[in-house]
Chains A and B, each alone.
Chain A
Amino acid sequence: DSGVTQTPKHLITATGQRVTLRCSPRSGDLSVYWYQQSLDQGLQFLIQYYNGEERAKGNILERFSAQQFPDLHSELNLSSLELGDSALYFCASSIGGSLNTIYFGEGSWLTVV
């Protein structure tokens, strides 16, 4: 158990809909990261937050947005869903700073039908 909690574990929704994925980081971790893993793909970095502020942005679509709340949990909002958005979405957290380690949650399986 990495200490990073993601909900829901599985989600099936229709095209055009909007979903929210939630992540609770490990206790004490200030950084939250979101990654997407599609079939046969590596881990695609989406976005990073550090203590409530956006720190880095990767290949995140404009239809997607995220935020980190004062209690440090984070949400990833996916809207106008398309079939190609079906993927495993991982949240990860770290203390922040140099030489730190990132710990992953179990992921949220999103299936768009």
Chain B
Amino acid sequence: DQQVKQNSPSLSVQEGRISILNCDYTNSMFDYFLWYKKYPAEGPTFLISISSIKDKNEDGRFTVFLNKSAKHLSLHIVPSQPGDSAVYFCAALEGTGNQFYFGTGTSLTVIP
């Protein structure tokens, strides 16, 4: 049972434009959400996170939005750069369980 879903396996964006990666979840007990970036043959690296008490968190070019009522979060990258080309995973954490649930990833390609 996939509790965290990334329904878009891939996304292509022109350099300089906005990239929007989406993630949906089903468990209303999730209270912490994270985004990871993964290059081929490397481990995922932490990008940005958001607590369920917030609806937006920003770090440089990266902003994560959380819509709890829709059980949806998104990652915005502005402006997109070729180096952003990678697979992006969203993850959710239920505080009591300490288990991280990952989506299946979205492969972002930023076209120069």
Using CB atoms and an 8 Å cutoff, list the residues of chain A in contact with chain B.
2, 4, 31, 33, 35, 41-43, 45, 48, 50, 55-56, 58, 88, 90, 92, 94, 96-107, 109
Which 3 pairs across A and B sit closest by C-beta, in order of nearness?
A98-B95, A42-B104, A104-B43
Q: How many A-B residue pairs have CB under 8 A?
A: 71
Q: A56-B98, A92-B100 are in contact. List 16 more A-B contacts (CB 8 A).
A: A4-B43, A33-B100, A41-B104, A42-B105, A50-B98, A88-B41, A98-B31, A98-B95, A99-B51, A99-B95, A100-B32, A101-B34, A104-B45, A105-B43, A106-B43, A107-B42
Check if B91 is an interface residue, CB within 8 A of chain A.
Answer: yes
Q: Compute how far the CA of A103 lies from the CA of B38 in the bound complex, rounded to whole angstroms.
A: 12
Q: Do residues A96 and B95 form an inter-chain contact, with CB atoms below 8 A?
A: no
Residue of A nearest to B95 (CB): A98
Chain A contacts for B41, CB-based, 8 A: 88, 107, 109
Chain B contacts for A97, CB-based, 8 A: 95, 98
Chain B contacts for A100, CB-based, 8 A: 32, 93, 98
Using CB atoms and an 8 Å cutoff, list the residues of chain B in contact with chain A.
31-32, 34, 36, 41-46, 49, 51, 89, 91, 93, 95-105
